[in-house]
Amino acid sequence: MTASLSAALRVMPDPLPDPSPCSGPVCGPDATAPQRLARGLDAVRHGVLLVDPDGRVAHGSAPALALLRRSGLSGAPTVRRLLRLARAGTGLGAWEIVARLRGPLGLDVALDGHRVQVEMHSVPGEGVALVLEDVSARRAAESRAHDLARLDPLTGLPNRLKLREHLDAALARLEHNAEGCAVLLVDLDRFKPVNDTLGHPVGDALLQKVADRLRAMVRAGDTVARIGGDEFVVLQAGVSTPGEAQALARRVVDLVGRTYMIEGQLLSIGASVGVALAPADGQDADRLLKNADLALYRAKLDGRSTFRFFEPAMDARMQARRRLELDMRQALARREFELHYQPQLNLADERLVGCEALIRWRHPERGLVSPLDFIPLAEEIGLIVPIGEWVIRQACRDAAGWPQPLAVAVNVSPAQFKSDRLVETIVSALANTGLPAARLEIEITEGVLLQDNEKTLHTLHRLRDLGVRVSMDDFGTGYSSLSYLRAFPFDKIKIDRSFVADMEAKADGEAIIRAIAGLGRSLGMTTVAEGVETAEQLRRIRAEGCTDVQGYLISKPLASDDLLRLLGAPDAPFSGARA
C-alpha cells in the first residue's frame, strides 16, 4: 500500500466528473451493490471521497464534488493537497498517514476561501475515506460570536474579557519597549440616583453618552472598556511619564462631569478615577487592576469627582481594613461587643430619666475599639443590621434588670431602619425581656427620613402603636426641616453636641439651642442637649429652656456593671432619692 499511495501522489487520475442527477438502471432496483452504495453516499449531507489502495479516487459523492467545485478545485490534485495538509498537521510522511491511521484524523483546512473540515478514515484493504464538510458559515458565525462575547452589548465597548486581552498584550510589550502603560479605573458618581429616579432606560442612555465621551478623549492605540455597572477602564498605552496619565485622568474627571441632556432632562454626574502605572505598580493584569481599584477607593474617600494615583501605603491600609472586617464578622459569634450607657438628666428635678446605649468592641488583641473605627465599615459592608439587632436585644435585657425604671435609648442606622425586620426585632426583644415598651426609645437621624418617606412614616407609626418612644438624633446637623416634625410627632429632639461646644465661641450656637428648645416646648417634645461638659454650658442650656442634658458633666458612658452600681448607690450623684 505504501508504494501504491506514494505513486498516487505523483501520478494522479483524470479530474472527477461533474455531479449529475441519478437516472437509468443505476438508480433502479437492478442496481449493483456498488451503485447502491454510491447512491447512498450521494444522500449523505457531508461529502465523501473514497481513495483506493493505489491512491486513486474510486468514488466522489455528489456533495463532495459540489464542494470541490465551489472551492475552485477538482479531481485528484485535491486529494494530494489534502494529504499534504494532513502530513503538515501530523508530522508524518504522506504515505505513513494511512498506514498508521487507527482512528479518524481531523483537519480544518482552507481551500481557496472556504473552510473545509476533513476527516480521514482508514478502510482496511480498501484505502482511505475522506469526509468533507464546508464549515465556512459555521466558522464565520463562531468568529462573530467570539467578537460579540468580548463586547459590552449596551455601549459597544470592549468588556472585561477583551480588556484583559489588551492589557496582557500591552504588558507583554513591556519587555521590548521602554514605555509603560497606565490603567485608569473610572467609577461614575451620583449615577444610582439617576437610575432610581428616572428609570433604567435613561440610565442606559447616560452610560452610552459616557462611553462616547471616553472614546473621544483617547488615542487610537488606547482602549476604553466597560467592565460592569457604572465602571469603565481606560488602558493608556505608550506612557513615558506619570504626567501623561495625570493629564488623561484630569480630562476624564472634567469631561465625564459635564452636564448631559437626555430625553429633555439635564443630568449631572461625576467621575472618580484610580490610576495604576505599569511597570511601577505591577507587571501583571490582576495586580494593576487591583491597585487601580485601591486608588479609586481613595479618590472616593477624598470627596469623589477627583483622581488618585496608587501608592503602596494604600495596599497596607486596605489589608488592615480587610483584617478589621474579618475580625468584625466574627465578633458577634465571639461575643466581643458590649454596651456602655450614658445617663441623661432631667433639669427640672435633677433626676436621671434614661440612658443612651453605646456599643463598644472589646477585641482580644486590639483592645477597646472605638465605634468611629468600626461602625462606618459595618454600615458599608452590611453588618450594621445584625449588629444593630444585637444592640436592641441586649439593651432591653440590661434595662429590664435596672433597679430604677429608666428609659433606654438605642440608635438605629438608616440601613437597619430600612430593614423589614426592625419592628419584629423590637417586638421580640420586648417580649423576651419583659421590658415595657414605654421604656424603650429608638433614636433616628434625619438621614432616615430622606429614604422612602411613606415606608419610613409607616414604620414610625408602627413603633408608636407598640408604645415605643421615638426621638430625632443630631437635630440641626443634616437636612433639618419642620416638615419632618409635622409629618411625625417625635417624643424627643436631641441637639447635636457641636452646638453646645459652640455656645461660648459663637453667638449663633446659643441662638440655635434657644430656637430648638422653643420649638420643642411648642410641640410638646423633650429637648436633650448632648455633649455638656462644663458647669457654664449647663447653666446656659438651662437658661435657654432645654429639658434634659447628656454629657461628661453628668457621667461618662458606663459599662453595665458600673451603671448598676451607680443606680444602686444612694449617695452617688443623681441617683438614689435624687435620681
Residue 480 has pLDDT above 70, yes or no: no
Residue 248: burial class (beta carbons within 10 Å; 0-12, 13-18, 19+) = buried
pLDDT higher than threshold 60 for residue 5: no
Q: Which CATH class is domain 329-565?
A: alpha beta
**Can you tell me the mean pLDDT for 6-27?**
41
Looking at residue 37, its pLDDT comes to 67
Cis status, amide bond into 371, omega within 30 of 0: no
**CATH number corresponding to 2-139:** 3.30.450.20
Q: Is the pLDDT of residue 375 over 70?
A: yes
Q: Which three cell numbers stand for residue 495?
A: 441637639
Residue spans per domain, the chain: 2-139, 152-310, 329-565
The residue with cell 480498501 is 126
Amino acid at 209: K
pLDDT in tens, 419-473: 889 999 999 999 999 999 999 999 998 777 766 577 888 888 999 999 999 998 8
Q: What percent of the chain has pLDDT over 70?
A: 81
Of 368 and 225, the structure prediction assigns the larger pLDDT to 225
How many whole angstroms separate alpha carbon 93 and alpha carbon 81?
Answer: 13
Full-prediction pTM beyond 0.75? no
Strands (E) across 102-154 are located at 105-111, 114-123, 127-134
Of 79-88, 255-264, 544-553, which gets the smallest average pLDDT? 79-88
SS3 103: coil
Highest mean pLDDT among 134-148, 401-415, 557-571: 401-415
Instruction: Categorize the per-residue pLDDT at 479 as very low, low, confident or very high, splitting at 50, 70 and 90.
Output: low
Q: Does the pLDDT at position 371 exceed 70?
A: yes
pLDDT at 487: 74
Instruction: Judge whether residue 27 has pLDDT over 60.
Output: no
> Which secondary-structure segment (H or E) carries 47?
strand 47-51
Per-residue pLDDT band at 108 (split at 50, 70, 90): low
Supply 425's cell numbers: 426585632
Domain 152-310 class?
Answer: alpha beta
* Residue 158 grid cell: 470592549
Q: How large is the average pLDDT for residues 558-566?
A: 93
Sign of the Cα pseudo-torsion (320, 323, 329, 334, in order): negative
Buried b (16+ CB within 10 A) or exposed e, 21-60: eeeeeeeeeebeeeeeebeebbeeeebbbbbbbebbbbbb
Supply the angle between the helices 2-10 and 75-90 in degrees, to the nearest 10: 120
Least confident of 34-38, 126-130, 354-358: 34-38
Q: Which residues contact 390 (CB under 8 A, 6 or more apart)?
A: 332, 337
Q: Which pLDDT tens digit goes with each residue over 111-146?
A: 556 777 777 777 777 777 878 787 777 777 777 777
Q: Which region among 151-160, 319-328, 451-460, 559-568 has the lowest average model confidence (pLDDT)? A: 451-460
CA distance 165 to 142: 18
Question: For all residues of the chain together, what is the average pLDDT?
Answer: 82
pLDDT at 101: 44
Nearest to 477 by CA among 445, 434, 522, 519: 445
Taking CA atoms, 134 is separated from 210, 270, 395, 440, 551, in Å, by 43, 52, 76, 79, 85
Same topology, domains 2-139 and 152-310? Answer is no
Does position 475 have pLDDT exceeding 90, yes or no?
Answer: no
CA distance 151 to 169: 17
* pLDDT score recorded for residue 106: 54
Query: Can you tell me the distance from the alpha carbon of 132 to that of 157, in angstroms, rounded to the nearest whole number?
Result: 38
Least confident of 73-87, 233-247, 308-322: 73-87
pLDDT given at position 135: 78
Strands 127-134 and 47-51: antiparallel
Identity of the highest mean pLDDT range in 250-264, 319-333, 487-501: 250-264
What amino acid is encoded at 249 in this protein?
A
- Do the bridges between strand 492-495 and strand 469-475 make them parallel or antiparallel, or are there none, so unpaired? parallel
Give the pLDDT confidence of 146-192 residue by residue, as tens digits: 777 889 999 999 999 999 999 999 998 887 776 789 999 999 999 98
- pLDDT at position 16: 44
**Triad 392, 395, 396: Cα angle to 5°:** 85
Cell 437636612 sits on residue:
479
